[in-house]
Structure 1
Amino acid sequence: MYLTWFDSNSWLLEIGNKRILIDPWLVGPLVFGNQGWLFKGEKRTPRPVPHDIDLIVLSQGLEDHAHPPTLKILDKMIPVVGSANAAKVAEELGFTQVRTLEQGYTYSLDNQIEIKAVPGSPIGPTTVENGYIFRELETNFKVYYEPHGYHDQSLQQETPIDVVITPIIDLALPLVGPIIKGTKSALQIAEWVKPQVMLPTAAGGDVTYEGVLASLLKAVGSLEDFRSLLARHNLSTRVLNPTPGERFEVPLEKQPAGVA
């Protein structure tokens, strides 16, 4: 299994001989509703757009997950799996094979990867977006991705999950508190599913941010703090710190026979 992190929430997952692009932000700035004065992210280092993509997976319909400038340049024949909001964005941009994956349901990629949608981040009072579990059928390795730190209790039934990609530090606003849930939420999912490896998402990377909202956001915690927290709770999970744009192999040990 290989991963490449492209800053923010953008990942390339290589598993089961498939290349899956998750929440891609690869070109152009990141803004919400064309309101650059409020929030704008820009990559310091342009990187090549990944090739030979077998599937695009979108967790949310917001611009930092379904990034319109990036989706516009990708091949519209690539299949897309997403939440209802994300699928709508992909369809409007011309993708021809779009599957809305409701929570609790699965999607099979060429009988090699099973992708299960699980409850993720609440967006507004009535909408809950998707997290995902990717399972390689040959090895039974599982990868769980949720980019805002909202983990549903049903995940305890999925134990063990080998790799967890989720925020590990909090991103907070004054008087509001965390809008990205890191430390406590990450510890909870580590205790629930006992991952071999955890990887941070949402914060950091080779990106500059500006705007009113960006100036108010405060990062709380660090990877070293979280490693110490895991140790205090007798969890052997390894926390990796990926370098943006660099492909790396995820060090995993096969589970004993009979472990689901």
Structure 2
Amino acid sequence: MYLTWLDNNSWLIEIGGQRILLDPWLIGSLTFNNLDWLFKGNRLKDQPIPDNIDLILLSQGLEDHAHPDTLKQLDKNIPVVASVNATKVVEKLGYHQIHTLAHGETFTLNSQVEIKALPGSSLGPGVIENAYLLQELTSNFTLYYEPHGYHSPQLQQLAPIDVVVTPIINVWLPLLGSIIQGMDSTLKIVKWLQPQYLLPTAAGGDVAFEGLLVKLLKPQGSVEDFQALLDKNNLKTKLFTPKPGEKIYLPKQSNQAVQI
């Protein structure tokens, strides 16, 4: 398996001979409902749009997961697997092959990779977006992705999982509480799943953020803090923190992982 972090929540996953583009924001700025004064993310440089994509995988319908400007640039013939809310975005953009997954449903990509939707982030009363479990069918190599740190207890029944991609720091908003759960939430999932590898997501690398909301956000924790938690709990999971655009090879044995 190869993973390339494309910044923020965007990843290129190469598994089972398939190239899966996950939650892509690769070009242009990021806003929510065009409210620049509230929140705006600006890339220091656009990420090249990967070629030969076999599938677009969308966990949420929010702009930082289903980024309209990026999705407009991609080939509308590429199949899409999406949450219910993300489906609404790609339908409006004219995508032709959309597979909407409710929690517990699966989709098999070219007989090589099974994708299972699991309960993910809570975005308000009655709105729970998707986490995903990807499994390479020939080797049973598995990857779990949840971008806000909301982990369903049913995951314990799926352990062990080889690769976990999820936040490792907390982000708080006054009055609203935690909007991204890392630290203790991620420590719990590592104990549950005993992954070989852990890669953080949701943190901006080559991105500058501005707006009123940015001034209110309160991040807590760091890579060093989380590594200390792993060490304190005698957990052998390998923590990788790639730079934007960096490709990492993840074999079955964690002591052989290579940053490319």
Q: TM-score range by the shorter chain?
A: over 0.9
Q: Which letter maps to 2:5?
A: W
1:86-111 deviation per Cα after TM superposition (whole angstroms, max 9, x unaligned)? 01111110000001011101100011
Encode CA deviations 1:54-82: one digit per residue, 9 max, x unaligned.
Answer: 00000000000010000000000000001
CA distance in 2, matches of 1:145, 1:22: 10
Aligned match of 2:75: 75
Aligned pairs, number: 254
How many Å apart are 1:173 and its aligned residue? 1.6
Deviates more, 1:56-65 or 1:240-249: 240-249
Question: How does 1:11-50 map onto structure 2 within 5 Å?
Answer: 11-50=11-50
Aligned pairs for 1:46-57 within 5 A: 46-57=46-57
Tell me how far 1:164 sits from its aligned partner: 0.3
The offset of 1:230, in angstroms, is 1.1
**1:218, distance to aligned residue in structure 2 (A):** 1.9
Quick check: 2:198–2:240 contact (8 Å CA) kept in 1? yes
How far off its partner does 1:204 sit? 3.0
Q: Percent identity?
A: 59
For the pair 1:88 / 2:97, whether they are aligned, the reply is: no
Does 2:240 match 1:240?
Answer: yes
Q: Which runs of 5+ in 2 are unaligned?
A: 255-260
C-alpha deviations, 1:86-145, integer Å up to 9, x for none? 011111100000010111011000110000000001112111100000000111110000
Give the Å deviation of 1:6. Answer: 1.1
Amino acid at match of 1:7: D
- Give structure 1 regions of 4+ aligned residues with deviation exceeding 4 angstroms: none
TM-score for the superposition, normalised by structure 2:
0.96
Pairs within 5 Å for 1:1-260: 1-253=1-253
SS in 2 for 1:133: strand
CA distance in 2, matches of 1:20, 1:251: 18
**8 Å CA contact 2:24, 2:67 repeated in 1:** yes
Equivalent position amino acid for 1:177 in 2: G
**Contact persistence 2:28–2:46 (CA under 8 A):** no
1:159 and 1:177 map into 2 onto residues whose CA distance is 29
Q: Compute the displacement of 1:251 (Å).
A: 4.3
Q: Specify the code of the residue in structure 1 equivalent to 2:14.
A: E
* Aligned counterparts of 2:243 and 2:106: Cα–Cα separation in 1: 31
Q: 1:231 deviation in Å?
A: 1.4
Distance 2:137 2:115 in 1: 10
Q: For 1:47 and 1:58, locate their aligned partners in 2 and report how far apart those are by CA, in whole Å.
A: 18
1:253 Cα deviation from its structure 2 partner: 1.7
Superposed CA RMSD in Å reads 1.0
d(CA) in 2 for partners of 1:202, 1:85: 19
State how far apart, in whole Å, the 2-side matches of 1:93 and 1:73 are.
10
SS of residue matched to 2:185: helix
Alignment gaps of 5+ in structure 1: 255-260
What is the one-letter code of the residue matched to 1:244?
Answer: P
> Is contact 2:82-2:101 (8 Å) kept?
yes
Q: Which amino acid counterpart does residue 242 of structure 1 have in structure 2?
A: P
**Structure 1 counterpart of 2:257:** none
In the alignment, residue 86 of structure 1 is paired with which amino acid?
A
